[in-house]
């Protein structure tokens, strides 16, 4: 295969809490006023990304993996994950607060759902004044205190709120209770998993007048009840350099603030590379071809690439590898 930088068609998701920022800020082709998510790069069954550019246009991500997994993903990635693409990339627009939720770890997700767990990170793309996130508890709590707060409709009294602005970055490890607040647009990088335990949804109803399903019992043994300040990620922002953001067993994310062309030797990387453009415009090139990218677009560069050139007069990028 000619594995030039690959762009994919966004998979748009309607959500009762969704809004219009995916169109207004990121230029996504949404038609409703309640589009909550744009899945940028996905191999989740039923939601597999389709190539949008070049000769491979119309092929699915899974097709390309099945044809030559090592060339696309990297030998070490295939050894760990086989032909399963291990990363899911989304943009999320919260016009209303999302439900308070958490995700199980790998062991619990495997036992209960035959799935990966869901470790994730967030990069704030846009935030209304005063917008916030819920991340963790505001003090250590016991399981009994937690269940009592649910029964008394007082869970919000235990939540930790974090006001946010563009560029803030958060790491959400498994077990951490969390919610995206109204007015926040963010990029989400996560393990390939759609396993979520919803524990509180502000008692709101869907368009049919029904309360959404909660996963109260499933969540009890998955929650981390300790107060921890391990979620907001400080990172360097030196221009025209690779700045470390997040390193974990599931993904590594770097931050690039480029003012001019930038070239990287990736011949020893042995992993695919994902770029999320969070500001400006850039053309991404490897030895097989190129792809123009603007704010709100995502590109996959194959592991068989030896060098990546980022041609730009100004762009900010998140770079994700395994």
Which residue numbers are catalytic?
198
DSSP SS3 for 294: strand
Closest Cα partner for 119 from 219, 254, 248?
248
Closest Cα partner for 183 from 101, 99, 124, 103?
124
Measured CA distances, 318 to 157, 253, 313 (Å): 34, 7, 17
Residues 6+ apart with CB under 8 A from 259: 239, 240, 312, 313, 314
Closest Cα partner for 85 from 110, 114, 64?
64
**Residue 215 marked as a ligand binder:** no
How is residue 209 written in tokens? 């007048």
Measured CA distances, 51 to 63, 115, 189 (Å): 10, 25, 19
DSSP per residue over 240-288, as a string?
TS-EEEEE-SS-EEEEEEESS-EEEE-TT--S-EEEEEEEEEEEEEETT
DSSP SS3 for 191: strand
Q: How far apart are CA 314 and CA 43, in angstroms?
A: 31
Surface-to-core class of residue 87, CB atoms within 10 Å of its CB (0-12 exposed, 13-18 middle, 19+ buried): buried
**Residue 113 marked as a ligand binder:** no
**Residue 188 marked as a ligand binder:** no
Longest dimension (CA), the chain: 61
Binding site for Zn(2+), residues? 103, 120, 178
Annotated binding-site positions: 103, 120, 178
């Amino acid at each position: 295969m000619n594995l030039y930088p690959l762009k994919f068609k966004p998979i748009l998701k309607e959500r009762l809490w969704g809004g219009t920022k995916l169109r207004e800020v990121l230029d996504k082709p949404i038609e409703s006023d309640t589009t909550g998510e744009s899945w940028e790069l996905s191999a989740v069954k039923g939601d597999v990304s389709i190539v949008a550019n070049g000769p491979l246009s119309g092929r699915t991500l899974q097709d390309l993996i099945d044809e030559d997994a090592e060339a696309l993903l990297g030998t070490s990635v295939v050894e760990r994950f086989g032909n399963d693409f291990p990363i899911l990339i989304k943009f999320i627009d919260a016009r209303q607060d999302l439900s308070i939720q958490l995700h199980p770890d790998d062991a619990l997700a495997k036992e209960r759902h035959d799935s990966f767990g869901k470790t994730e990170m967030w990069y704030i793309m846009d935030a209304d004044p005063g917008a916030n996130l819920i991340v963790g508890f505001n003090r250590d709590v016991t399981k009994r205190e937690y269940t009592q707060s649910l029964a008394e409709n007082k869970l919000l009294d235990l939540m930790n709120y974090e006001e946010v602005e563009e560029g803030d970055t958060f790491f959400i490890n498994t077990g951490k209770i969390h919610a995206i607040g109204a007015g926040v647009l963010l990029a989400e990088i996560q393990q390939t998993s759609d396993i979520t335990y919803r524990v509180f949804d502000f008692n709101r109803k869907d368009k049919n007048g029904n309360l959404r399903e909660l996963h109260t019992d499933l969540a009890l043994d998955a929650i981390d009840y300790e107060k921890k300040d391990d979620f907001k990620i400080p990172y360097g922002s030196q221009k025209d350099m690779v700045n470390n953001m997040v390193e974990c067993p599931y993904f590594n994310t770097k931050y690039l603030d480029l003012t001019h062309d930038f070239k990287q030797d990736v011949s020893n990387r042995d992993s695919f590379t994902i770029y999320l453009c969070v500001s400006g415009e850039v053309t991404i090139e490897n030895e097989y071809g190129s792809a123009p990218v603007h704010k709100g677009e995502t590109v996959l560069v194959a592991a068989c690439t030896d060098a990546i050139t980022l041609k730009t007069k100004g762009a900010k990028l998140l770079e994700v590898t395994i």
